[in-house]
Amino acid sequence: MNRAAVLIPHFNNLAGLRASLASIDAEDPADIYVVDDGSPTPPTDDQVAAAVPGMRRVTVLALDNNVGIEGALNAGLDRIIADGYEYIARLDCGGLNLGRRVAAQIAYLDAHPQILLLGGAAQFVDPQGAPLFVRHMPTTHEQIVSFMRANSAFMHPAVMFRASAAARIGHYPTAFPAAEDYAYFWRFMDAGEVANLPQVLIEYEVDPGSISRSKRSRQLHSRLQIQRLHSDGSLQARMGMWRTRALLVVPVALIDALKARRYGQP
């Protein structure tokens, strides 16, 4: 058994799952947990194992019904924690690891025992795989706390966190549809220190059907709820909430153009 487990939720996207699994470096020290969220034909252990480079434990948890990403992630957390892993890494179905991402995060967390949650940067690509831009996140705990007033300071598929911290913090919240990760990361910040690596850890496809697009309004309303919950009354907190309200009326195409201009072409 490896020290880390990669948690991948899946629903009816076997091609994307295979691509994600194939991106895990053969030397990266991680076992694989795929949680199938009630797909008509869930992937089998053999299908998953055949797509993963290297020798490692592979577990497929097939849920009887479609419970949504929060429920799928929480089922995976419970199983991974019960199985005794030290670290939990996230990866989205269709997202790609770059390099020895797991080993890099384990090395950092081993060297910084006060850090409970660790993320990194992401290369954004279009559906054809063409590079769009690289998004770097704030790296220190203080910078992250400031950034979180306006938006998530982590790329969810790039995070790794301590299983012991997850056991204390509990499940992904279910009260904030499409923003469960933002709410969950606040819980880690309330419990201890967090950080981001400066290097690019994942490739992330800008998918027109992703949650951030198909459920954009719901996600922004959930984000606003979370910001209100964690507001300290500061100008920064108020500006973060104002920004979220403004985004509710801004077309997503304009947001994409602004992101590409802000982060630059790779």
Largest CA distance in the chain: 54
What pLDDT shows up at residue 43? 93
pLDDT band with cut points at 50, 70 and 90 for residue 254: low
pLDDT band with cut points at 50, 70 and 90 for residue 265: very low
Q: What is the pLDDT of residues 182-192, one digit of tens each?
A: 999 999 999 99
DSSP readout, 155-178? -GGG-EEEHHHHHHH-SPPSSSTT
Tell me the average pLDDT across 116-133: 92
Domains plus CATH for the chain? 4-263 (3.90.550.10)
Q: What is the pLDDT of residues 98-115, one digit of tens each?
A: 999 999 999 999 999 999
What pLDDT shows up at residue 209? 54
Share of the chain above pLDDT 70, in %: 91
Locate all alpha helices (DSSP H) within the chain, ordered by sequence.
14-22, 45-51, 69-82, 101-111, 141-147, 163-169, 180-191, 211-214, 216-230, 235-247, 252-263
**Cα 26 to Cα 100, 105, 243, distances in angstroms:** 9, 16, 42
Tell me the average pLDDT across 150-178: 96
Q: What is the pLDDT of residues 58-101, one digit of tens each?
A: 999 999 999 999 999 999 999 999 999 999 999 999 999 999 99
Q: What is the pLDDT of residues 191-214, one digit of tens each?
A: 999 999 999 999 998 765 554 555
pLDDT band with cut points at 50, 70 and 90 for residue 255: low
What pLDDT shows up at residue 92? 95
Mean pLDDT, the chain, rounded, equals 92
What pLDDT shows up at residue 238? 95
What pLDDT shows up at residue 257? 61
